[in-house]
Amino acid sequence: KRLKLTVNDRAHREMEVAQELMKRDLKHVLPFLDAGQDSDSDCYFVVMPFAERDLQTEINAQGKLSEPAAVSILLDTVNGLFEVFDLVHRDLKPRNVLLHEGTWKIADFGIARFVEESTSLNTLKDCLSPPYAAPEQWNLERASHATDVYALGCIAYSLLTGKPPFQGQNPVDYKTQ
């Protein structure tokens, strides 16, 4: 994955997260194989294994999933959140849950931050996925594990109904809902 970032805090944060996660034995998080800056192009890259599909594609293909299938996917996702207990993902959504080697795994830690790390809220004001964004994100308040739990609830709703819980036409609608 070529990161669409330049040399700034977001690029360095994503590299730091990738470097930390490469040290861990993760079963429910898509592993990072390599990460860094290309000296020729000055672009940032993270290298991950190829996944079979993302959860949004699964929802689009099946509509609502059976309760047992939804529970299995949600348990994989919860286990992924436990594996990265010291991170707040901040952009958990079906497109960031990937099927890899028979397990649904969390991916795309592009705006994640370590729990203790402080981050300027302004750096993230345009980096949210409206159907899954928690109220504190809309209010430009500090994200916490509760932010990821909120998104997980929205994913659960999507799995069981085939659509996200809120059907905003634009970001203002989502914020109001």
Catalytic sites, residue numbers: 91
The secondary structure of the chain as a DSSP string is: -EE---SSHHHHHHHHHHHHHHTS--SSBPPP-EEEE-TTT--EEEE-PPPSEEHHHHHHHHSSPPHHHHHHHHHHHHHHHHHTTTEE-S---GGGEEEETTEEEE---TT-EETT----GGGGTT---GGG--HHHHTTPPP-HHHHHHHHHHHHHHHHHSS-S---SSHHHHHH-
Helices 67-83 and 145-161, axial angle in degrees (round to 10) = 160
